[in-house]
């Protein structure tokens, strides 16, 4: 009998006997499923947060900040600079009007539905072109705010998480009351975590004079960004940095994504060590219970390598089953779960949904396979090192 046939025969024999060792096998399966489940659940936070941030990114839209600014709150731009950008080459026009929006970013307190505690929510003052600059933005309920009035439109994600954001509601910010007149969607992006109002009204309410913090603009094409950068760099009146939307939001998401990842992988590694010991214990118990059977197979001429490989395959199979269960549970309970967290880059809440992606499941199953291979290898080596005569005499 060839080596491959021997491996198949012994492997099938091992797998068929699993129900007889169900309790021990379940220990290994549950241990691995816990590792993969926690891994996928924790890192789905990072993938969901990054997905939400990057959904707002477009290569043909730009964010312009004061030079050296790390974010919108640290930036300041003038009305003169907005006018310069409006006439710069590469800026797209709609009905002859440059698609440029000077914007102001203010943090306000809104209570969370889950805890009833106040959280930092961004109130963004925008100019009319802001709607067209965001490709996927649309009002899905109510109407846009009217310039000059204390009216806001709220993102769909913000409405889901925070209290009092239904159309028609009155929300107080400090001594000023604002009426919610509409709800917008933006393809699940970070913009949906914001409240929008007329920038002039926001400037007046918060005594910001004629100041802005960022300039948003739509380009005629993604390639036009280089010409825009060169033009603004050559003008001494515009000491600014120009980023594509995608580049800007990628930088904004980097800190939080890295933090979650740095936590997720070490936790998974520590849990994986425990799962490996669980697999070792399971396979040693399995081999101990089948010592006479393994010795008999060797006496009948089955090669030690075929037995070793079959034991490792059994351990890997149990681990992969655990990985599938863990990944499935993570997807069932966490994928799409909507939460909010503080974005360190903007000191305001970002509403996002956990994203248990195919890549996370793939990584989790790979981890499960490694756990199974390592957990089965040493018991497998032990099973073939015991002399046949000794194994038959002891059992």
Mean pLDDT of 217-222: 92
* Same domain flag for 262 and 342: yes
327 and 268, same domain (yes or no): yes
Of 238, 267, 291, the last residue of a domain is 238
High-pLDDT (> 70) share of the chain, %:
89
Average pLDDT of the residues in 330-351: 81
pLDDT of residue 179: 96
Expressed as residue numbers, the domain containing 126 is 68-238
In a domain, 59, yes or no: no
Q: Give the span between the Cα atoms of 183 and 140, in whole angstroms.
A: 6
Q: How confident is the model at residue 199 (pLDDT cuts 50, 70, 90)?
A: very high
Q: Give the span between the Cα atoms of 340 and 112, in whole angstroms.
A: 9
Residues 353 and 390 in one domain: yes
- Picking from 15-19, 129-133, 189-193, 388-392, which range would have the lowest pLDDT averaged per residue? 388-392
More confident: 308 or 84: 84
Q: Is the pLDDT of residue 378 over 90?
A: no
**CB-based burial, 187-220: b 16+ in 10 Å, e otherwise:** ebbbbbbbbbbbbbbbbebbebeeebbbbbbbbe
- Verify that 96 and 204 share a domain, yes or no: yes
Instruction: Quote the mean pLDDT of the chain.
Output: 84
374 domain-assigned:
yes
Q: Please report whether residue 324 resides in a domain.
A: yes
Count the domains in the chain: 2
Highest mean pLDDT range out of 40-49, 59-68, 297-306, 381-390?
59-68
Residues 27 and 370: their CA atoms lie apart, in Å, by 17
Identify whether 60 is part of a domain: no
- Is the residue at 244 inside a domain? no
Q: Are 170 and 102 contained in the same domain? A: yes
Answer whether residue 13 is part of any domain.
yes
Residue where a domain stops, chosen among 173, 207, 238? 238
Full-model pTM: 0.77
Structure confidence at residue 1 (pLDDT): 59
Measured CA to CA, the distance from residue 108 to residue 223 in angstroms comes to: 37
Asked whether residue 145 falls in the same domain as residue 95, the answer is yes
Same domain, 193 and 338: no
For residue 245, tell me if it sits in a domain: no
Q: Are 249 and 56 in contact (CB under 8 A)?
A: yes
pLDDT band at 345 (very low <50, low <70, confident <90, very high): low
147 and 215 co-located in one domain? yes
- Pair (275, 220) in one structural domain: no
**DSSP states of 127-150:** -TTHHHHSTT-EEEEE-PPPTTSS
Mutual orientation of helices 291-299 and 245-289 as an angle, nearest 10°? 80
For residue 390, the model assigns a pLDDT of 60
- Tens of pLDDT along 76-127? 999 999 999 999 999 999 888 999 999 998 989 999 988 888 888 999 999 9
Residues 218 and 272 in one domain: no
Q: Which of 238, 266, 284 is the last residue of a domain?
A: 238
d(CA 326, CA 240): 48
């Amino acid at each position: 009998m060839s080596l491959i046939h021997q491996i198949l025969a012994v492997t099938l024999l091992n797998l068929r006997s699993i129900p007889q060792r169900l309790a021990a096998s379940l220990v290994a399966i549950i241990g691995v499923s816990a590792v993969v489940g926690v891994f996928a659940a924790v890192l789905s936070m990072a993938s969901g947060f990054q997905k939400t941030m990057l959904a707002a990114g477009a290569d043909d839209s730009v964010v312009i900040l004061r030079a050296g600014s790390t974010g919108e709150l640290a930036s300041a731009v003038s009305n003169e600079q907005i006018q310069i950008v409006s006439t710069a080459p590469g800026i797209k026009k709609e009905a002859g009007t440059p698609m440029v929006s000077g914007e102001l970013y203010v943090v306000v307190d809104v209570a969370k539905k889950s805890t009833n505690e106040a959280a930092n929510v961004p109130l963004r003052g925008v100019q009319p072109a802001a709607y067209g600059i965001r490709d996927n933005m649309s009002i899905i309920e109510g109407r846009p705010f009217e310039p000059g009035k204390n009216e806001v439109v709220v993102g769909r994600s913000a409405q889901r998480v925070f209290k009092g954001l239904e159309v028609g509601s009155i929300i107080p910010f400090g001594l000023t009351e604002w009426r919610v007149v509409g709800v917008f969607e933006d393809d699940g992006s970070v913009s949906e975590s914001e409240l929008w109002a007329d920038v002039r009204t926001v400037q007046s309410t918060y005594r910001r004079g004629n100041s802005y913090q960022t300039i948003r603009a739509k380009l005629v094409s993604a390639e036009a960004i280089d010409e825009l950068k060169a033009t603004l760099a050559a003008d001494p009146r515009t000491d600014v940095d120009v980023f594509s939307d995608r580049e800007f939001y990628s930088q904004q998401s980097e800190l939080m994504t890295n933090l979650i990842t740095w936590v997720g992988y070490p936790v998974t590694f520590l849990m994986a060590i425990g799962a490996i010991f669980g697999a070792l214990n399971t396979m040693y118990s399995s081999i101990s219970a089948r010592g006479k059977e393994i010795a008999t197979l060797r006496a009948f001429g089955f090669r030690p390598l075929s037995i070793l490989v079959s034991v490792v395959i059994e351990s890997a199979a149990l681990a992969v089953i655990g990985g599938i269960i863990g990944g499935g549970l993570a997807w069932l309970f966490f994928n799409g779960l909507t939460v909010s967290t503080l974005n360190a880059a903007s000191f305001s809440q970002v509403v996002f949904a956990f994203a248990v992606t195919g890549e996370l499941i793939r990584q989790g199953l790979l981890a499960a396979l490694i756990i199974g291979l390592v957990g089965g290898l040493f018991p497998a080596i032990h099973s073939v090192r015991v002399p046949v005569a000794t194994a038959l005499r002891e059992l």
